[in-house]
A and B are shown apart, each in its own frame.
Chain A
């Protein structure tokens, strides 16, 4: 019997965008409110996992053509390089700085280098979570055939 996943797939199409937006919101909230790179990355991974459940692996990979492992490595690399950036200014390792800038749409905005570090964390978490999920699923599909 062929399964018909119309309802699941339709709901997923809508939900995924909400989840991914929420993930970005959580990520950006990290500096002043609960949230941050770790939880942002995990929620993002949850959104992608929902796609994995509703559609098959190949379709999702085609729409999201990133090497998950590379994503994790580059995340850690970004975090490390942000930390090492302080060497250039002869400051202690991991020193961070921030400043206020007037941007076109946002107006006066606080920009902090800690966000760059958080981008690294988020990417590392996302990459790791997706690698784990994808590799386990891939193993199962190999076993079946």
Chain B
């Protein structure tokens, strides 16, 4: 029993409720937001240390032991994600203070932000499949409202599609849970894993696994990503950034959990399919990123490429590849938020998201320009920055597995090609917006964006820290990778008091 595990849910929940009760008092709401996220960060740091030195931490909620009650499980994988998510949330909330506007602030923006964090942290920490569904819904409902809050025409259009597609995928999620429960009679993930190992993952269970694959692919924008570019470009910058950083990542987390802990017995079916989907995601995402000439869409397709890359690591399915995917996942959470925030600032300055209307911004906004360039290089995977190590590990393992199966050569080639195209698409933004003749605000006054740049700079520091401090981070990532490759560690931690 360790009640600390539940704090990343309880703190934002409590803060969000208190904020909702005083919606006119914006000052207090801001202070509470910062305090809440800082507390979650502190708790996550403590949990990381506990998991490192004492093993996986579990909490049987209400004192009901594992397969019967709900368990919250903090293993290294989920704790690192909670830690990174709170860092990004802090930067985004600081950005929101100066950009979101008084009207949205008065209509529960900060509460919804906290509830979104409840959903995200809950999804990372839960050890129960139905609970995962509930936390997905907590996250999605907050995201529906955040997406439509403000009620512009573009937001409403985006929200309708987003709500429809997510309601559909949630329904399929429930169906999958029902099928699974009908066969194995349990919903605790560790217990599921034990029972599936006992009865063997036959054709029926593999089909159920594919149902879950469809669901989480829809949530994570893996191959089924058609809804994403529009939904993520409709809301205000900071909301788009939080979505890009956290929402798809929760889907990826669920994919990792399901296909390393529960459905790992038939990798020749499930993981091959994951590899194909990851490859197609990389290819189509890259095409989208290169094809468009407006910033919103290029950024949206970059999110998709990131998803493809991380899932490629899962599909290769060796410990090093999973570690690479985890490195890349942490890096992607930070840099995608950063990229969306910077993209938002550029659009704010230029007053348009069309690249053809921009140019010469480096004269007025040098700091913004260099921040954007460094982010671009980090996403491309240039060595001292954070995207490098994950890519190296994934590519290396992809090549190693390619020796046996030629298909993995193709996946690795696509991964490398996509890195090039990511770099190309973002450098295109950089060159067209920052170089050349000034086309925006010619003779107009300079916009004050210093306050907006500070959280971005903070995120960039985190990103550089992830790259430079990779060696320091290595034992933690290694522990997480080991836990993912060896599900019995997780099972033992959860069910030790029963078996």
Q: Which residues of A contact B (CB under 8 A)?
A: 69-70, 73-74, 76-77, 80, 83-84, 86-87, 90-96
One of B54-62, B78-86, B197-205 at the interface: B54-62
The reply to whether A95 and B10 contact each other, CB–CB distance below 8 Å, is: no
How far, in whole Å, are A76 and B21 apart by their CA atoms in the complex?
A: 11
Do A95 and B17 have beta carbons less than 8 Å apart?
Answer: no
Residues in chain B near residue A92, CB distance under 8 A: 1, 3, 59-63
Question: How many A-B residue contacts, CB cutoff 8 Å?
Answer: 40
Closest to A69 in B: B20
Contacts of A95 in B (CB 8 A): 62-63
Cα distance A97–B17 when bound, in Å?
Answer: 25
- Give every chain A residue within 8 A of B63 (Cβ-Cβ): 91-92, 95
What would 27 A/B residue contacts be, using CB atoms closer than 8 Å? A69-B20, A70-B21, A73-B17, A73-B20, A73-B21, A76-B17, A77-B14, A77-B17, A77-B18, A77-B21, A80-B10, A80-B14, A80-B17, A83-B10, A86-B3, A90-B3, A92-B1, A92-B59, A92-B60, A92-B61, A92-B62, A92-B63, A93-B10, A93-B61, A94-B61, A95-B62, A95-B63
Q: Which of B54-113 contact A (CB under 8 A)?
A: 59-63
Taking A80-B10, A84-B10, A87-B3 as contacts, is the C-beta distance between A93 and B17 under 8 angstroms? no
Smallest Cβ-Cβ distance to A87: which chain B residue = B3
Let me know if B21 and A93 touch, CB within 8 A. Answer: no
Task: Say what secondary structure dominates the interface of chain A.
Answer: helix
Further pairs besides A73-B20, A92-B1, A94-B61: 4, Cβ < 8 Å:
A73-B17, A77-B21, A80-B10, A93-B62
Min C-beta distance of B363 to chain A, whole Å: 49
Q: Does chain A have a CB within 8 A of B459?
A: no
**Within the assembled complex, what's the spacing in Å between the Cα atoms of A94 and B131?**
15
Within B1-20, the residues touching A (CB, 8 Å) are: 1, 3, 6, 10, 13-14, 17-18, 20
Task: Show the binding face of B for A, using Cβ within 8 Å.
Answer: 1, 3, 6, 10, 13-14, 17-18, 20-21, 59-63
The 8 A-B pairs of least Cβ separation, nearest first, read A94-B62, A93-B6, A94-B61, A92-B63, A95-B63, A77-B17, A73-B20, A73-B21
Q: How far is the CA of A84 from the CA of B3 in the complex (A)?
A: 10
Contacts of A74 in B (CB 8 A): 21
* A73-B20, A87-B3, A93-B6 known; A80 vs B61 contact (CB < 8 Å): no
Contacts of A90 in B (CB 8 A): 3
Q: How far is the CB of B182 from chain A (nearest CB, A)?
A: 25
* Bound CA span A94–B6, Å: 10
Q: In the complex, which residues of chain B have a beta carbon less than 8 angstroms from the beta carbon of A84?
A: 10, 14
Residues of A within 8 A of B3 (CB): 86-87, 90, 92-93
Bound CA span A94–B63, Å: 8
Q: How far is the CA of A74 from the CA of B17 in the complex (A)?
A: 8
Pick the most buried of A74, A84, A90, A93: most chain B CB atoms within 10 A of its CB. A93
List chain A residues, Cβ under 8 A from B62: 92-96
Known contacts A73-B20, A73-B21, A87-B3; A93 and B14 CB within 8 A of each other: no
Give chain B nearest CB distance to A96 CB in angstroms.
7
Q: Give A80 to B13 CA distance when docked, in angstroms.
A: 8
Chain B residues, Cβ within 8 Å of A96: 62
C-alpha spacing A70/B18, complex, angstroms? 10
**Chain B residues positioned under 8 Å from A80 (CB to CB):** 10, 13-14, 17
